[in-house]
Amino acid sequence: MYASSQAGYAFCMDPAPATRQPTTHIGTRELRANVAAMIRRANNGERLVITVDGKPHAVLGPIENNGAATLDSLYAAGLAVPPRGARRTEAPLPSPLAADVRLGPTLDSIRGGT
């Protein structure tokens, strides 16, 4: 979960305080003007959401241990939308299959035979 502050920062509201990372929104013009400084900030653990016309388009941040993006980071960047409604937590049960049925009589009845 992310919450915004009036200073333009969004903070990760994870239950573990050690994983909180500030997120700053920056425009492409500011990024081009200060690329080296932005990379240093990302290297120090800050996530920078890069915006084009005020809309998030990319995230610059530290490399995570597994290299994979998390759903929370994708939601924060506007690259994913949380699901609406209840999420299914288990796979649907398979439909029962009849293993002892001969197809010949069934096909004959479908084809109009006796």
Note whether residue 24 is domain-resident.
Answer: yes
Q: 45: domain CATH number?
A: 3.40.1620.10
pLDDT of residue 56: 92
Does the pLDDT of residue 110 top 80, yes or no?
yes
Note whether residue 110 is domain-resident.
Answer: no
pTM over 0.85: no
Q: How many structural domains is the chain composed of?
A: 1
Note whether residue 108 is domain-resident.
Answer: no
pLDDT of residue 84: 80
Range with the lowest mean pLDDT among 16-30, 38-52, 59-73? 16-30
Name the more confident of 20 and 110.
110
> What does the alpha-carbon distance between residue 114 and residue 105 come to, in Å, rounded to a whole number?
8
Does the pLDDT of residue 3 top 60, yes or no?
no
Average pLDDT, rounded, for the chain:
76
Note whether residue 100 is domain-resident.
Answer: no
Determine the average pLDDT of the residues in 79-97: 76
The boundaries of the domain holding residue 64 are: 2-77
> What does the alpha-carbon distance between residue 53 and residue 20 come to, in Å, rounded to a whole number?
27
User: Checking phi first, is residue 53 left (phi over 0); if not, alpha (psi -120 to 50) or beta?
Assistant: left
